[in-house]
Chains A and B, each alone.
Chain A
Amino acid sequence: GIQVEQSPPDLILQEGANSTLRCNFSDSVNNLQWFHQNPWGQLINLFYIPSGTKQNGRLSATTVATERYSLLYISSSQTTDSGVYFCAVDDIKGAQKLVFGQGTRLTINP
């Protein structure tokens, strides 16, 4: 099945810093989503981005489908950005079951 690798596994930053999280995947996808799992365990949908670039406030994401990677950018980090960020892709075209990466644990210190 499709493989999803996220890097870095852990990231510790000071408030106000910028960060880039990466997601590599091993095959063509129909779906790529980024999630934030907050310290209370809730999964928050950030982006649906199988290709192209999207922005939402301080967050933006870019997926280069031909090169099989996606990047999540967080600018001017706040302590509330702390948590685990997951990338997830569909298994094969039309299968509609997401395969998750292992996540990047982001800690923003005040």
Chain B
Amino acid sequence: NAGVMQNPRHLVRRRGQEARLRCSPMKGHSHVYWYRQLPEEGLKFMVYLQKENIIDESGMPKERFSAEFPKEGPSILRIQQVVRGDSAAYFCASSPRQDYNEQFFGPGTRLTVL
């Protein structure tokens, strides 16, 4: 049973470009969470999605960041007009349903903004 998959594993962007990070949850999981690990701030929650719905985006920066989890395909975290401060590791986690508390984490995407 494959785990949570994220791609790309490493992504380099220049300031002002767009970054798209993809997350495929474990088979049978319909809940996805995104977390960000900044160098001096530890791991922080960003957004919680179910298929076609954003449940909680209280940790998302107000501008330039968006997330989706379409009916078909992976969840996408999109960062527009990246800045150097967006350089971080972005982790995706999944769980099978709302009343199942354990979250299973992917390997992460390391974003470097030049």
A-to-B contact residues, CB < 8 Å: 30-31, 33, 35, 41-43, 45, 48, 50, 86, 88, 90-91, 95-103
Contacts and interface: CB of A to CB of B under 8 A. Distances in A.
A48 B107 contact: no
B98 A96 contact: yes
A86 B44 CA distance: 12
Contacts, number: 56
A50 B101 contact: yes
A63 to B, nearest CB: 13
A41 B44 contact: no
B48 A45 contact: no
Interface in B60-114: 89, 91, 93, 95, 98, 101-105, 107-108, 110
Contacts of B108: 41-43
A96 B110 contact: no
Contacts of B45: 91, 97-99
B89 to A, nearest CB: 6
Given A33-B102, A45-B104, A102 B42 contact: yes
Contact of A41 (B93, B95, B98, B110): B110
Given A41-B108, A41-B110, A42-B107, A97 B56 contact: yes
